[in-house]
Amino acid sequence: MSQTATDQRATKKDWLGLAVLVVPILVVSMDMSVLYLALPFMTADLEPTGNQTLWILDIYGFLLAGLLITMGSLGDRIGRRTLLMIGAVVFGAASLAATFSTSPEMLLVARALLGIGGATIAPSTLSLIRNMFHDPTQRKEAIGLWTAGFAGGAAVGPVIGGVLLEHFWWGSVFLINIPIMVVLFVAAPLLVPEFKDTDPGRFDPISVVLAISSMLSIVFAIKHGAQEGIDLAAAVSAVAGLALGAVFVLRQRRAANPLIDVTLFAERAFSAAVVVQFLVIFAMTGFSLFASQYLQLVVGLGPLEAGLWLLVPAVAAAAGAVLAPTLSKVIRTGTIIAGGLLSIAIGCMAMAFVNADSGLPLLLTGMAVLTFGIGAASTLNSDIVLTAAAPEKAGAASALSETGAELGGAVGIAILGTIGSTVYRHRMDDAIPAQTPAEIADPARETIGGAVAVADYLPEPFASQLTAVANSSFIDGFTLASGASAVLMAVSAVTVFVLLRRQTASVR
């Protein structure tokens, strides 16, 4: 059924349907972080090689990013609810396989299937919200709750993972996905209406191959460059990805029935919104990586306690997401989005002053200010993306936004992580005496985790001295990355304010 936008207000059934749509996005968000907690236990049990471990971690994000555009367009064709239910089956089955994996290869395949299933969920849920909530104010509120669910998943993932790992085996972190996907599969036909494009035109498999190949190549180049440095493999992959992307765009411009409508980027608001989505996820993923390491390795908290403290920025993100639609009634949308980016900049600047003695208050304050801005900006930003396209093309439009987010996450970890690790290694090279045995110096120079592990085997006072130097080096990298991000986000806030200064509440 294709439905045009009207001023019809949502019913109680629509709001119940929204609850059904928020639950799976919470799970997808959880799965992005939960494996990091289980990693030490998984590696001890399955004994993967270093290369297998990296692929087990990365394959989920690779396929999620690579398939978003294709899945968004596919949902417009076969029905967004239908695609969502197919994704629920794939995600649930893959979770079951991951739970009981007995080899690295089995877990790798399961994680790949989780990425494929996850790629169906984000564009389907967001585009269904576009079709279910026609009133602009209600739609913003619905998107705010969706955004809060995504932020909540990222926050409660470590908490739930910590609880499960304290009582069960490592595979249990995937087990929670299964009952949630069963509920989605049963409840969606009852509470979520079906929507699809009634005249999608001929399907173009060549465009699908180009879209997937381009995204996978670009994401691989970013991640490989962050882990191994910019070598021939990263350069070739980046060039190939950009070339394939250019061919894809040219084909979409000439096709009678394109996979995505690239003319959307001619609208200044839409282009700015995709860039904003890139920036907010850039900030969120980059600093989530630093924050978890700071809490566990510098402050010395356990995984569960660290996860509980990270609920503070999650609550701030949810508050920003819920408050933004209300503010948009009296303040221009573009101003609020720019204000959200400015809030991110202020949060980054606060974290630039974190040190070994400042403890939790300054870090959590900075993270809370940062995530409040992310919640506010993301909510209204998603509304701009969804209303830029016709209702029957909302799936492809939301997929473009989510693709920007996935790239933002990959680039955030790559750039901010590289800044942090480069400063850390430089400081440690200067601090570790030249006569230190290689079996101690090498792992300590690489990561703060390696330094902490080595310190456990050293006598005092050498252990305390190594830990203090490693903490100081890590914090130097963290604060430099924070300061650089603060400048980037402040400049972006001004730019977005200029581009979207006339953007008001959506009316489509």
1 pLDDT band, cuts 50/70/90, is very low
Q: Residue 97 pLDDT > 90, yes or no?
A: yes
Mean pLDDT, residues 380-386: 80
Q: Residue 504 pLDDT > 70, yes or no?
A: no
Q: What CA–CA distance (Å, rounded) separates 36 from 58?
A: 11
Q: Which amino acid is at 476?
A: D
Q: What is the DSSP string of 343-355?
A: HHHHHHHHHTT--
Q: What CA–CA distance (Å, rounded) separates 299 from 321?
A: 30
Predicted pLDDT at 80: 85
396 pLDDT band, cuts 50/70/90, is low
6 pLDDT band, cuts 50/70/90, is very low
Give pairs for 93-96: CB < 8 Å, separation 24+.
Answer: 95/174, 95/175, 95/177, 95/178, 95/181, 96/174, 96/178
Higher pLDDT, 88 or 422: 88
Predicted pLDDT at 279: 85
With CA atoms as reference, report the closest residue to 412 among 288, 307, 270.
288
Could you read off the pLDDT of 324-370 as tens digits, one per residue?
888 888 888 889 999 999 999 999 999 999 887 777 889 999 999 99
Give pairs for 463-472: CB < 8 Å, separation 24+.
Answer: 466/440, 468/356, 469/427, 469/428, 469/431, 469/432, 470/424, 470/428, 470/444, 471/297, 471/298, 471/356, 472/356, 472/427
Higher pLDDT, 323 or 68: 323
50 pLDDT band, cuts 50/70/90, is low
Could you read off the pLDDT of 298-319 as tens digits, one per residue?
888 877 787 788 888 888 988 8
Mean pLDDT, residues 126-150: 81
Q: What CA–CA distance (Å, rounded) separates 42 from 35?
A: 9
Q: Which amino acid is at 44?
A: A
Could you read off the pLDDT of 454-488 as tens digits, one per residue?
777 777 777 788 788 888 888 888 888 888 889 98
Q: b/e string for 489-506 if b means 16 or more Cβ within 10 A?
A: bbebbeebbebbeebebb
What CA–CA distances, in Å, run from 277 to 4, 229, 409?
26, 26, 10
Predicted pLDDT at 195: 83
Cβ pair 60, 91 in contact under 8 A:
no
Higher pLDDT, 266 or 93: 93
Answer whether the bond into residue 461 is a cis peptide, omega within 30°.
yes
Mean pLDDT, residues 209-235: 80
Mean pLDDT, residues 183-187: 91
Cβ pair 20, 192 in contact under 8 A:
yes
Surface-to-core class of residue 57, CB atoms within 10 Å of its CB (0-12 exposed, 13-18 middle, 19+ buried): middle
Q: Residue 445 pLDDT > 80, yes or no?
A: no
Q: What CA–CA distance (Å, rounded) separates 25 from 435?
A: 52
Name the range with the highest mean pLDDT among 85-89, 249-253, 458-462: 85-89
Place of tokens 């494009």: 197
Q: What CA–CA distance (Å, rounded) separates 508 from 389?
A: 9
With CA atoms as reference, report the closest residue to 41 among 166, 213, 228.
166
The structure's pTM equals 0.76
The tokens for 310 are: 């990270």
Any alpha helices (H) in 201-258, and if so which ranges? 205-228, 232-254
Predicted pLDDT at 118: 86
Q: What CA–CA distance (Å, rounded) separates 120 from 185?
A: 14
Q: Residue 287 pLDDT > 90, yes or no?
A: no
92 pLDDT band, cuts 50/70/90, is very high
Q: Which amino acid is at 371?
A: T
What CA–CA distances, in Å, run from 13 to 10, 182, 188?
8, 20, 11
Task: Determine what percent of the chain is predicted with pLDDT higher than 90.
Answer: 15
